[in-house]
Structure 1
Amino acid sequence: MNATPKRGKTLKPAEVRELFSRLAELNPHPTTELAYTTPFELLVAVILSAQATDVGVNKATRKLYPVANTPAAILALGEEGLKTYIATIGLFNAKAKNVVATCRILVEQYDGEVPRDRAALEALPGVGRKTANVVMNTAFGEPTIAVDTHIFRVCNRTGLAPGKDVRAVEDKLMKVVPEDYKQDAHHWLILHGRYVCKARKPDCPQCVIRDLCRFKDKTPDESNR
């Protein structure tokens, strides 16, 4: 009998393609769970989502956007007015300050439009690389990959793109993800981390990529016990 060949800690190119093929078959048209209708609404929602849940952000913006969903309208509200809508979200004081400051720049420098350029996005208050990547990908169709805690966990556990920090994981993902899967990779991975490869108890028995995954502490299938 031949011994099972040893597998390295990192997925091979064929395994990476198979991983995304399965995720794509399961969810052919993945998208963000943040509610938005314009690039500006998405930008604000992503700024608000730092250290907060998408559900909590959507609850707040559901009341905010019918009243103010443009940079000029939020400027008219002002910080104190904005706070009344987002007070249920963590760090709402700092976020209100950043959103209003961002709106002022958009009005004064970009005619109220959200720039498509990474450097311009990252120069906005409250916008870092991850937020810029989300906006570029989801609003403008750029094949960027925003690495959050869910994606960082999935990439290190599975061996898809191990890295010591989020930037290292992002850089590796941009190298290993096949071009035809790059546009949706961010959404597949974040949803997989949020609902299957969960932090405390990953649902490995229900995972469609379990056999490819390098995570040595897989949760057992209790039905087979």
Structure 2
Amino acid sequence: MSKPQLILLGAPGSGKGTQAKRLVSEFGFGHISTGDLLRAEIAKASELGKKVKSIMDAGELVNDQVVLELLNANCDLTNNVYIFDGFPRNGEQAALLEDFVLKGIPAKAIYFKVDFEQIIERITNRRLAPKSGEIYNLLTRKPKVDGKCDVSGEDLIHRDDDKEEVVRNRLEVFKKTIEPVLEYYKSKTQLVELDASRPADVVFEDLKKLID
């Protein structure tokens, strides 16, 4: 596969998770989410998994070195193309990913650019059906019956972390940490910005062109 490794960058609610799923199903990319990898490694009860479990059981955050070990243990970059999602989160991690994992293998960083006010509107209008797992949006995907899931009929919930004050705080944190990451990839001429404010299908068409 001659496509570059992909590093997806974007604020919570920018739609990169949705697009990552589509890239996986249409092009066969491997999807690397550090959270999923951590859980999988713990489930395998490998040496690394035991190390991760003891860190998490102590209520501490897994440090960068362990994440890099995890990536190297789970990524075969010679034979596969991956989407890195959720890592790097800061400039230091971007440099570590390059030096210890990618090691010069061609990669492209795609920044899903969306106005923060639009993201706040998107996220605060999200409603979730806990049992069926269906996700609705009062602006773009309304349930047929107000407040009820189309599939299970259960009551929809508005999660605390989808409420405006929480969303604004998360975006402030994101804004501070993303700038150095964007600068890093800009300096390596690997950064591409994608207007992610448009409908998902339109964004996906542009994304396909970017990865060819």
**Band of TM-score, shorter chain:** under 0.3
Give the TM-score taking structure 2 as reference length: 0.26
Instruction: Please give the TM-score of this superposition, normalised by the length of structure 1.
Output: 0.25
Structure number with greater Rg is 1
Q: Which has the higher helix share?
A: 1
* Larger RCO (CA under 8 A, 6+ residues apart): 2
Larger proportion of strand: 2
